C-alpha cells in the first residue's frame, strides 16, 4: 500500500507539471490568435487606405480636367469677343480661334467621373468590410482573453485539488513511517483576508486575482481623456492581454522574469509593450493595489488599468492586497 501511495504522489506531481505545460501552451496559442487578429485588421486597414488613395487620385484627375476645360472655354470666349470687336475674320490677322472640342471634353469628363465612381464604390465596400472585421476581431479578442482567464482559473483550482490530494497522501505516508514522494511544485496559497478573491500559486505573496465586480469604481477615470501619463488605453489593453496570455502562463509553468526578458529579446519587444515591463507593472512596485472595505475592494492604485479591464470585458485582474498606497498607473 505504501509503495502504491508513492507511485500516486509521483503521478500527481506529473499531472501538475502537465497542467502547467498546458497553461503555457495555451498562452502561446492565445498570443498566436492575437497576432492573427492583428494581421487581419492591419490587412483590411491597408486595403481601405489603398482604396482611399485611389479615390483621391481619381478626384484630383477629374478636378484638374474640369479646371483645364474651364480655362480653355474662357480662352475661346475671350478670343471670340475680341474677333467680334474688330469685326473682321481672324484669318486677316494671321490667327484663328481655338478649335471647339466640347464633345471631346465632355467624353473625357464622363470617363473620369466613371473612374471616380468605381473608386468610391470600391472604397465604400472596403470600409464596410473593415468595420465588420474590426467588430469581429474585438469580439474574438474578448473571447480569447476570457478563455485565457478561465483556463488559468481551472488550472489553478485543479492544482489546488492536487495539492490537497498530495497533502493527504503525505499524511498517510507519515503515519505509516514510509518515505513520501516529493511534490514541492504543488502548494495551496495562503488565504487572503477581505472580499472574495482567488489566490494563485503563481503570483507573489500578497497578490490575488480579484473579480472586477467586487471593486468599487472611484470615478477618477471617466474615459480616454483621463489618460495622460504616457500610457494610452491601447497600451494598457495590450498589457492586460500580455499578462493573461504570456506572463501568467509563464509563471504557472515555473518561469520567471528572466524567461520573459529572453522572450522579449527573441520577439523584439521593448518598453511598455514588452512582457518583462508587463511583469513589473502588474507584480512590481506599481502593481494594482486594493484595500478591503467591508465586502468590497477600494482602489488605492491602478484605476486606469481597472477601467481598461472593465471595457475589455475581463472578469478579474491581479492585485496586491494591502494598505492604501496612493498613486496611479
Quick: pLDDT tens for 15-57.
Answer: 767 776 776 677 777 777 778 888 888 898 999 999 999 999 9
pLDDT score recorded for residue 140: 83
Q: Look at the chain and report how many structural domains it folds into.
A: 2
Instruction: Answer yes or no: do 210 and 271 share one domain.
Output: yes
Other Cβ atoms closer than 10 A to 67: 10
Domain extent at residue 172: 1-188
Nearest to 145 by CA among 73, 219, 242, 59: 242
Instruction: Answer yes or no: do 149 and 211 share one domain.
Output: no
Instruction: Answer yes or no: do 200 and 173 share one domain.
Output: no
Element (H, E) at 323: none
Chosen domain end from 169, 188, 207? 188
Instruction: Answer yes or no: do 225 and 80 share one domain.
Output: no
Name the residue with higher pLDDT: 178 or 27. Answer: 27
Q: Is 182 exposed, middle or buried (0-12, 13-18, 19+ CB in 10 A)?
A: exposed
pLDDT score recorded for residue 160: 63
Question: pTM for the whole thing?
Answer: 0.43
Residue-wise pLDDT for 92-106, tens only, equals 444 555 566 678 888
Average pLDDT over residues 95-119: 81
Instruction: Answer yes or no: do 212 and 99 share one domain.
Output: no
Which residue in this structure is represented by grid cell 475680341?
82
CATH (domain of 64)? 1.10.287
Query: With 60 as the cut, is the pLDDT of residue 255 above it?
Result: yes
Instruction: Answer yes or no: do 177 and 275 share one domain.
Output: no
Instruction: Answer yes or no: do 8 and 134 share one domain.
Output: yes
Q: What does R_g of the chain's alpha carbons equal in angstroms?
A: 34
pLDDT score recorded for residue 97: 52
For CA atoms 318, 322, 328, 329, the dihedral sign is negative
Name the residue with higher pLDDT: 159 or 32. Answer: 32
Cell of 60: 484630383
In angstroms, the CA 97 to CA 81 distance is: 11
Report which listed range, 91-95, 181-185, 252-256, 310-314, is most confident: 310-314
Instruction: Answer yes or no: do 162 and 239 share one domain.
Output: no
Amino acid at each position: 500500500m505504501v509503495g502504491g501511495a508513492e507511485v500516486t504522489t509521483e503521478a500527481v506531481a506529473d499531472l501538475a507539471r502537465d497542467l502547467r505545460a498546458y497553461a503555457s501552451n495555451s498562452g502561446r496559442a492565445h498570443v498566436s490568435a492575437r497576432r492573427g487578429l492583428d494581421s487581419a485588421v492591419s490587412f483590411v486597414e491597408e486595403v481601405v487606405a489603398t482604396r482611399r488613395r485611389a479615390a483621391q487620385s481619381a478626384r484630383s484627375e477629374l478636378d484638374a480636367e474640369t479646371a483645364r476645360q474651364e480655362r480653355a472655354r474662357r480662352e475661346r470666349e475671350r478670343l471670340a469677343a475680341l474677333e467680334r470687336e474688330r469685326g473682321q475674320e481672324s484669318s486677316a490677322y494671321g490667327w484663328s480661334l481655338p478649335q471647339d472640342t466640347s464633345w471631346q471634353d465632355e467624353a473625357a469628363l464622363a470617363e473620369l467621373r466613371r473612374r471616380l465612381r468605381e473608386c468610391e464604390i470600391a472604397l465604400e465596400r472596403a470600409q464596410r468590410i473593415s468595420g465588420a472585421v474590426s467588430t469581429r476581431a474585438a469580439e474574438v479578442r474578448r473571447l480569447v482573453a476570457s478563455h485565457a482567464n478561465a483556463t488559468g482559473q481551472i488550472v489553478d483550482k485543479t492544482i489546488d485539488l492536487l495539492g490537497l490530494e498530495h497533502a493527504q497522501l503525505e499524511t498517510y505516508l507519515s503515519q505509516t513511517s514510509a518515505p513520501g514522494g516529493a511534490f514541492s511544485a504543488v502548494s495551496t496559497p495562503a488565504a487572503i483576508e477581505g472580499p472574495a478573491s482567488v489566490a494563485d500559486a503563481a503570483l507573489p505573496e500578497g497578490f490575488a486575482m480579484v473579480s472586477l465586480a467586487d471593486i468599487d469604481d472611484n470615478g477618477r477615470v471617466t474615459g480616454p481623456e483621463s489618460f495622460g501619463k504616457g500610457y494610452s488605453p491601447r497600451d494598457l489593453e495590450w498589457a492586460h492581454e500580455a499578462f493573461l496570455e504570456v506572463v501568467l502562463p509563464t509563471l504557472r509553468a515555473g518561469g520567471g522574469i528572466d524567461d520573459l526578458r529572453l522572450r522579449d529579446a527573441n520577439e523584439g519587444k521593448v518598453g511598455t509593450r514588452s512582457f518583462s515591463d508587463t511583469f513589473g507593472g502588474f507584480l512590481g512596485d506599481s502593481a494594482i493595489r486594493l484595500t478591503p472595505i467591508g465586502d468590497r475592494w477600494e482602489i488605492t492604485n491602478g484605476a486606469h488599468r481597472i477601467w481598461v479591464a472593465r471595457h475589455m470585458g475581463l472578469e478579474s485582474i491581479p492585485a496586491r492586497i494591502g494598505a492604501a498606497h496612493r498613486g496611479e498607473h
